[in-house]
Amino acid sequence: MSHPRSLRFLPALALTACISGPGTPDNPLPARPPVELAPPAGDAWHRHAVFYEVFVRSFQDSNGDGKGDLPGLISRLDYLNDGDPHTTTDLGVDALWLMPVFDSPSYHGYDVVDYERIHPDYGTVEDFERLCAEAHRRGMRVILDLVINHSSSQHPWFVESASSRTSAKRDWYQWSDTDLAWAPPWDLFSRGSTWHKLNGAYYYGVFWSGMPDLNLRTAAVSEEVKRIASFWLGKGADGFRLDAARYLIETSGGLVGQADTPETHAFWKEFAAHVRSVKPDAVLVGENWTTTPTIATYYGSTAQVPGGDELQLNFNFPLAEELLKAARTGDGTGVTLKLAEMRTRYPVGVADAPFLTNHDHVRVATQLGGNTGQLATAASLLLTLQGSPFLYYGEEVGLANGTTNNDEAKRTPMVWDASAGAGFTTGTPWFSFSPGRESAQVAAQSNAPGSLLSRYRGLIRARHASEALDRGGLRLLTSTEGRAPTLAFLRTWGEERVLVVHNLTGGTETAGPFALEGESAEVLFAAPSAGSLVRGDSGWSVTLPAHATGIWRLR
């Protein structure tokens, strides 16, 4: 779900003051402990999986109507993961996140009219079950976008709720006799109201009038939401991405009452416990577009449930901004500071969910101006960090935004080849292809060793070939002070130690020396033409060409 973000927070500034305050010769700064992030606790599949976000409408059309569908997605599963770890022609992802596939009047699906019916454009429930079976056969999981903060205003629940003040479903939504004039919680200075007039009363809809918020304080609504989750888990789903997770239960107007309320956290604990009771290894992924300290609270308590008793994965929006900034500017300072902040804020042992962009962002290729070196750097940063990275479909080939200024331009059809329909459709695509499709396509990059697609494939293979990269802890080797043209860290798991070094710049850079144990270094990934890692008296050093990444297992 997208929404404006007029409120800006600056946690990194406060962190900088703590980390890099001035010292003097008479009062030197005390030695700082290294920034270390513990490996995710437990052995659940989702704690180290590589996820791939799919907008079904734009991925593959199977019937020529110009709209992607579930049968089309099934036909492309081998591109994502063919089930054979020895092949190198698939991307190698471990899980799929499907943007909303339930029946909806909108192209995007975030206003649901039937939570138990697949959108007719996409297929049927039976098609979804077949998708899950085929994905599972290849070793992939499938999670669904579950939108329970709100429904469509066309949903039968809301139609009934609005029909009468005495309706049996009146309290399934929030109603008021007057306009309470609450501004959106992300823009408290807005003159707009989140209360909308209908039939002589006002209902609450934080995003817009077409998406009335469900009232999850009503027990019947809460139970219905849990029943719906059980329904899809029974059909093969392996978990849910939870839209607008911060905004579930409101207690009053203003930021404190409309977002991150104690009641919202209590509901997520209850919902998570229910999902675990139905399918113990299912995952819940939270969309909490906010600051690091607030995101950290959505893991809940780790006392009884490894990784937290609320949402096991939470998208790291602040880190995403810093990763793209590092790729664009050639300076990784923001990344180092963000990792340091995560160390102090995130509960120990939780799994991060890093990403670059998703369906609400201007695409990476557009943000980076199509710069091939910067795109390669962004990919390398994402896929060498710990946790569960998420890729947005088309990101792996440098798919750019469309030419219009709307959300559809962030969700244009996938480009598979150079044919008129780009291998996506034999008909007219539901939305125009993005510019640059001559090179930002799968066919053109599949057999090109230096392509962006090849880098994504190689990085994911390297990740899966090393438990330290796949699921280990992270020790930052780059200082949090000053400019950082290179970014280096050590990934560890048991006795395995893997050194990762990124040259973020467009020129040659030398990194090190790093005082790390080891007599030899095994190359796990080196591109493009990364220099040799050399051990000297002071430790390991390496000279890297522009935008190169080197990954070595130290022995």
pLDDT digits (tens, 9 = 90+) for 291-339: 999 999 999 999 999 999 999 999 999 999 999 999 999 999 999 999 9
Confidence of residue 532 (pLDDT cuts 50, 70, 90): confident
The whole-chain average pLDDT of the chain stands at 93
Cross-strand pairs, 353: 315
Angle at 306 between CA 305 and CA 311, to 5 degrees: 75
pLDDT at 10 over 50: no
With 50 as the cut, is the pLDDT of residue 29 above it? no
Question: What's the DSSP call for residue 182?
Answer: P
Helix (H) or strand (E) holding 498: strand 496-503
% of the chain with per-residue pLDDT over 70:
93
Could you say which DSSP state residue 528 is in? Answer: S
pTM confidence score: 0.94
The secondary element (H helix, E strand) that includes residue 327 is: helix 317-329
Q: pLDDT for 437-491, tens place per residue?
A: 999 999 999 999 999 999 999 999 999 999 999 999 999 999 999 999 999 999 9
pLDDT band at residue 9, thresholds of 50, 70 and 90?
very low
Among residues 499, 486, 522, the alpha carbon closest in space to that of 377 is found at 486
Distance, in Å, from the CA atom of 421 to the CA atom of 437, rounded to the nearest integer, reads 11
Q: What is the pLDDT of residue 158?
A: 98
How many helices (DSSP H) and strands (DSSP E) are in the chain?
A: 16, 22
Identity of the residue numbered 90: D
Residues with active-site annotation: 243, 287
What's the pLDDT tens digit per position in 66-75? 999 999 999 9
pLDDT in tens, 190-209: 889 999 999 999 999 999 99
pLDDT higher for 8 or 551? Answer: 551
Give the long-range contacts of residues 275-281, CB within 8 A, separation 24 or more: 275/229, 275/233, 275/239, 275/240, 276/305, 278/229, 278/230, 278/233, 278/234, 279/233, 279/238, 279/239, 281/44, 281/45, 281/46, 281/238
What pLDDT is recorded for position 12?
Answer: 33
Look up tokens 């190689």; give the residue: 458
> Residue 25: its pLDDT value, please?
41
- Of the candidates 422, 452, 448, 449, the residue with the CA atom closest to the CA atom of residue 435: 422
pLDDT of 527 reads: 64
